[in-house]
Each structure stands twice: as C-alpha cells, then as structure tokens.
C-alpha cells in the first residue's frame, strides 16, 4: 500500500514493528506536497530539510528503544494559528507575516511528548474568520476534489492537506464550525471537542468563549486517537476542564448503538439545506436505525437565532482579542505614520484584511456603551436559551444528528460578494459552539457532481463517547473512499 494513503494507526503499527522508518514516511509526504501543493496551497510554512532532520532524530530515538506512541513519527500539519516554538506563525494575516512563535502551544507540547512529526503550518482564513479559506493573505486553498471549488473554512489548509494525502492528520480550530465544515467539504473526518477539553494555551484567540482545538483525520479512529493525545487539563488555560471530580465516559471501540436515542432537530434541516445533501443525511439516519438506534424528529426552537447570536458574540470577542495587534508588540508596523494614534490606525488598516476589519468594527459597535444592552447582552441571553434547549434535548436523546454544511463545496469567489450567503454556510455548526458541546463531521456520501457530503453527530457536554460510538458504526457501514482530483 502506498505510504501516503495510510492512516496514522496503520503507519503506527508498521513503525512499532520497525518495518518502516519515520524518514521514509516523511519523504513520501514531502514528495507528495512538492507535487501537489502548488495547486492546493494548503501550506503557509513548509521546510522539507527540517522535516527530514526531525524524522531522522525520531528514527534514532526508536532504534535506541524509545517508546513508540500513537503519533511517534506521524506527519501532521498544524493550522497556522497554533504556536510552534521557533516557527513562523502568521494566522494567514499580513500583520503577523513575519512573526515567529516563542513558545509551544500546550497541544504541541503534548504532541512533542509523543515525538510527532511537524509537516508544516497550514493555510486558513485570516485569524480563523471565514467559511471558504478565501480570506487568507497567502492566497486561497483549493478543494482537492475539485480545484475550482473552496475547501471550506476557516481550517481549509488542514482539511485539504489531509484530503489530498499531503498530511496524515491535522489540527484545526473550531469557533463556529471551522473544523467540521471544511472536513465535510473535503470528505474527511473532523472533530470539535467539548469546550474546555483541549487547552487553548498558545492558540491565537478569535472568540475565546467559542474557540476549541480539534483533530482532522481520514478516519474516525485517527481523530479519536489525536483527540486523546491533545486533550486534558491545563493550568495555563483558565477555561480548561479539570476532570478530577467529574465522571469521564471513556469510549472503547466496538461499542454498538443498539437502543441509542437519536434526535433529528428540524431546525438543522433548514430550507438552505440542498436537496441532495438532505437525501444523503436521511439515508445515513436510516443506517443508524438499521443498527438498532431509535430515531425521532425533535425541535430546539432557539436554534433559529444561533447564527444572529454568533455574529454578535464572535465579533465582540474578536474586537477585544485582536486589539493586541497594534504595531507595538507584534508583527507589522507602519513605519511612516506620524505619532502613536496614526501608527495604530495605519498599521491595523494595512495589516488586517477586509473581513477581519469588518468583524472588529461590528464587535466594537456591539460592545460600545448604549448598544451593549441591545446587542451583546441580548445575544448572551439567547445563548443561554440555546444552551438550555440542548440540555433539554440531551435529557431525552444520546445524540443529535443532521447535516454539517447546507451545501457541498461551492465555487471559488461564488460567495465573496454575498456575505449573508457566506455566513449561512455555518448555520448547522454554530449552535454547537454556542452550547460548548462536542460534535463530529464524517463523510456520508457524494453529490451527483462527485462532491463529499458531511454528516454531523452532536452529544451532550463531555459525552464524546456517544459521538464516537455513532461515528464508528456509520463509518463501518459507509464504504468511504477519498478520491482527490490531483
Ligand atoms: N465561519 C465562521 C466564521 O467566519 C466560523 C469560523 C471558525 O470556526 N473559526 O466566523
């Protein structure tokens, strides 16, 4: 079997048995990236020489009897808003184009402890704002299934690198769907954990109450293993969950779904959902039923407001978080400005792209005195209603299911002039972030124009085990093959 088409857990077995070297795996992936990435553009930073050096180090460690863990020697791409010490981190923005991280994010420390192999930093929408990866200062990413289409966003680089066999796995961030939505459009698996399960230390904040790091893989097992590798309590993140006094529902593979209660919220089957997507989702629900799950349509009325609430809360938090990029402490500075205020203004006007500037303006407006009560406070109240609707649903159902994205991959440029349509791309994923619950997207079928469709599985807070159970069963029934056009 060709090395680049293998999953992390398959490569792991070969490395463990010493049947293959990390260096061989690295070379195969470097060759693939060199051949395909000029068309895909999934990487912002990629240094083949350093990758080979690191792979050799890992091989020396293994030959001396070092422990081979799940990700030892496995090539992984990392979204470019996650700090890796001494490596450039741009957030796909001009304002950070020359910035080098001075420390490792906690997720990177955890992967380093396993001796993973960093392949490079993956392209994204600037500061993770977008649904198509077209808001990158480093150019758009192309969908490996059709190079004229978007890979989804904002983690377009991570998703496309995994779908094009350039990387085995990837880490992305999900604030309103940025892992699940590109996973759906690229035909790979993407998982957003419960808020607080994975440390955000060393991840550039977009909307801190919504951001969560999670894995991409070409199957469910790789995503579960990668999630296990990066999750856990971290003192350096004050919102990180300490599980000491909480019950952790551990998932063991092979658990079936007999008797599992599955809710299908009608608010996620909105009119924007394309008819082919809908048909594929209904088909997938039938597979759950065939495997012994009880299916019932349900309603979470407040979900209707989720998109509006998100587009107040996320920009509000972003406007505050992004104030640190002022030309003084990080990255780009306008050198010709006269005086401090002009320096701030010119640096930020030239350093940030249009979508980021728009979010900062919307957020600043929503937080300003006189408007705060009408927008931000109101949005927070509705967020509570959404959380309560989910709580109520999960008192009855083990999982909720529906589409990940209302459509398959759209054409490059198609939604750039229609913001509302762009924002609607996340209508099915955003409620999950507002409630802080875990959710996965798995590929469930192809449209008539041969584009992947994603199926979303959501569960209650800390019940990732239920998500994984259902995902595994579906995966074993859906014979999914990734067939990039490149
Ligand atoms: N597309 C959404 C946005 O633009 C979500 C982004 C994300 O999850 N990072 O805000």
Interval 61-75: pLDDT, tens: 999 999 999 999 999
DSSP-based three-state secondary structure for 106? helix
Query: Which domains are seen in the chain, by residue range?
Result: 3-256+471-478 (3.90.1300.10), 304-378 (no CATH)
Closest CA to ligand 1's atom 5: 176
Instruction: Give the atom of ligand 1 at the shortest distance from the alpha carbon of 359.
Output: 10
**Which listed residue (154, 170, 199, 405) is catalytic?**
154
CA of 291 to the centre of ligand 1 (A): 34
**Crossing angle between the packed helical segments 378-394 and 306-321, to the nearest 10 degrees:** 120
- Mean pLDDT, range 157-172, rounded to an integer: 98
Residue 485 falls in the annotated catalytic set: no
Q: What is the residue-averaged pLDDT of the chain? A: 97
∠34-38-42 over CA atoms, to 5°?
Answer: 90
Residue 252: per-residue pLDDT: 86
Distance CA 139, CA 119 (A): 19
Mutate to test the pocket of ligand 1, among 81, 129, 191, 211 (most ligand atoms within 8 A of CB): 129
- Mean pLDDT, range 322-351, rounded to an integer: 95
**Is the backbone of residue 451 left (phi > 0), alpha (psi -120 to 50) or beta?**
beta
Instruction: Give the atom of ligand 1 at the shortest distance from the alpha carbon of 130.
Output: 4
3 with 25: CB under 8 angstroms?
A: yes
CA of 315 to the centre of ligand 1 (A): 10
- With bands split at pLDDT 50, 70 and 90, how would you rate the model's confidence at 1? low
**Which listed residue (79, 94, 121, 469) is catalytic?**
79
What is the phi/psi pair of residue 329, to 5°?
Answer: -95, -40
Distance CA 79, CA 157 (A): 7
Whole-angstrom CA distances from 203 to 83, 103, 241, 361 are: 6, 11, 17, 23
CA of 139 to the centre of ligand 1 (A): 18
CA of 166 to the centre of ligand 1 (A): 24
What is the phi/psi pair of residue 408, to 5°?
Answer: -80, -175
Mutate to test the pocket of ligand 1, among 82, 126, 127, 131 (most ligand atoms within 8 A of CB): 131
**Helical H runs in 67-166?**
106-113, 156-163
10 Å CB burial of residue 156 (0-12, 13-18, 19+) is: buried
CA of 129 to the centre of ligand 1 (A): 5
Mutate to test the pocket of ligand 1, among 126, 136, 178, 179 (most ligand atoms within 8 A of CB): 178
pLDDT tens column, 449-483: 999 999 999 999 999 999 999 999 999 999 999 99
pLDDT tens column, 234-288: 999 999 999 887 888 888 888 899 999 999 999 999 899 999 999 999 999 999 9
What is the phi/psi pair of residue 51, to 5°?
Answer: -65, -45
Mutate to test the pocket of ligand 1, among 175, 200, 203 (most ligand atoms within 8 A of CB): 175
Pairing outcome for strands 399-403 and 452-459: antiparallel
10 Å CB burial of residue 349 (0-12, 13-18, 19+) is: exposed
Residues contacting 203, CB < 8 A, separation 6+: 81, 82, 83, 105, 107, 173, 211, 213
CA of 24 to the centre of ligand 1 (A): 36
- With bands split at pLDDT 50, 70 and 90, how would you rate the model's confidence at 39? very high
Residue 246: per-residue pLDDT: 80
Structure tokens at 372: 């705060």
Residue 247: per-residue pLDDT: 81
Instruction: Give the atom of ligand 1 at the shortest distance from the alpha carbon of 210.
Output: 8
Helix (H) or strand (E) holding 244: none
CA of 222 to the centre of ligand 1 (A): 24
**Which listed residue (101, 161, 178, 316) is catalytic?**
178
CB atoms within 10 A of CB 28: 18
Residue 178 falls in the annotated catalytic set: yes
CA of 413 to the centre of ligand 1 (A): 17
Beta-sheet strand order (sheet of 169-174): 43-45, 117-122, 75-79, 169-174, 212-217, 189-192, 439-446, 452-459, 399-403, 261-265, 294-298
Structure tokens at 123: 């392209």
Residue 248: per-residue pLDDT: 83
- The residues lining ligand 1, judged by C-beta closer than 6 Å to any ligand atom, are 128-131, 153-154, 173-178, 206, 314, 426
Residue 173 falls in the annotated catalytic set: no
pLDDT tens column, 363-393: 999 999 999 999 999 999 999 999 999 999 9
Distance CA 135, CA 182 (A): 14
pLDDT tens column, 214-241: 999 999 999 999 999 999 999 999 999 9
CA 319 from centroid of its chain's CA atoms = 21
Q: Considering Cα of 161, then 457, then 201, then 54, what sign does the dihedral take?
A: negative
pLDDT tens column, 398-452: 999 999 999 999 999 999 999 999 999 999 999 999 999 999 999 999 999 999 9
- With bands split at pLDDT 50, 70 and 90, how would you rate the model's confidence at 325? very high
Model pTM score: 0.98
């Amino acid at each position: 079997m060709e090395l680049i088409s293998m999953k992390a857990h398959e490569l792991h077995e070969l490395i463990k048995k010493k049947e293959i070297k990390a260096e061989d795996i690295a070379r195969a992936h470097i060759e693939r990236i060199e051949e395909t990435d000029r068309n895909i553009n999934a990487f912002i930073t990629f240094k083949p020489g350093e990758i080979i050096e690191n792979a050799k180090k890992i091989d020396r460690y293994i030959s001396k009897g070092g422990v081979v863990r799940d990700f030892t020697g496995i090539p992984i791409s990392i979204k470019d808003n996650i700090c890796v010490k001494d490596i450039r981190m741009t957030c796909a923005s001009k304002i950070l184009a020359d910035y080098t991280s001075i420390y490792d994010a906690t997720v990177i420390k955890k992967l380093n402890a396993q001796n993973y192999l960093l392949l490079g930093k993956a392209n994204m929408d600037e500061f993770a704002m977008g649904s198509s990866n077209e808001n990158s200062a480093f150019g758009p990413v192309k969908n490996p299934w059709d190079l004229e289409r978007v890979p989804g966003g904002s983690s377009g680089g991570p998703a496309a690198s995994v779908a094009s066999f350039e990387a085995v796995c990837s880490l992305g961030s999900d604030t309103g769907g940025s892992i699940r939505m590109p996973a759906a459009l690229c035909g790979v698996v993407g998982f957003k954990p419960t808020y607080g399960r994975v440390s955000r230390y060393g991840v550039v904040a977009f909307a801190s109450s919504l951001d969560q790091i999670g894995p991409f893989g070409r199957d469910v097992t790789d995503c579960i293993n990668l999630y296990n590798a990066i999750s856990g309590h971290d003192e350096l993140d004050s919102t990180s969950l300490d599980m000491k006094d909480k019950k952790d529902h551990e998932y063991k593979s092979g658990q079936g779904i007999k008797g599992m209660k599955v809710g299908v919220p009608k608010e996620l089957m909105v009119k924007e959902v394309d008819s082919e997507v809908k048909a594929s989702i209904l088909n997938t629900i039938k597979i759950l039923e065939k495997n012994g799950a009880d299916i019932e349509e349900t309603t979470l009325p407040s979900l209707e407001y989720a998109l509006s609430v998100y587009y107040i809360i996320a920009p509000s938090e972003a406007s505050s978080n992004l104030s640190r990029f002022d030309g003084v402490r990080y990255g780009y500075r306008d050198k010709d400005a006269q005086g401090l205020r002009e320096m701030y203004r010119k640096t930020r006007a030239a350093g940030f792209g249009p979508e980021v500037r728009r979010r900062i303006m919307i957020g600043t407006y929503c937080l300003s005195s006189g408007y705060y009560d009408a927008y931000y406070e109101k949005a927070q109240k509705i967020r509570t209603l959404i959380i309560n609707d989910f709580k109520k649903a999960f008192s009855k159902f083990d999982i909720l299911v529906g589409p990940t994205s209302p459509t398959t991959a759209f054409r490059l440029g198609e939604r750039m002039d229609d913001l509302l349509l762009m924002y609607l791309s996340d209508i099915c994923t955003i409620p999950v972030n507002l409630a802080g619950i875990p959710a996965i997207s798995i590929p469930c079928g192809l449209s008539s124009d041969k584009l992947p469709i994603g199926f979303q599985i959501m569960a209650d807070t800390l019940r990732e085990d239920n998500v994984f159970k259902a995902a595994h069963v579906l995966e074993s029934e859906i014979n999914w093959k990734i067939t990039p056009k490149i």
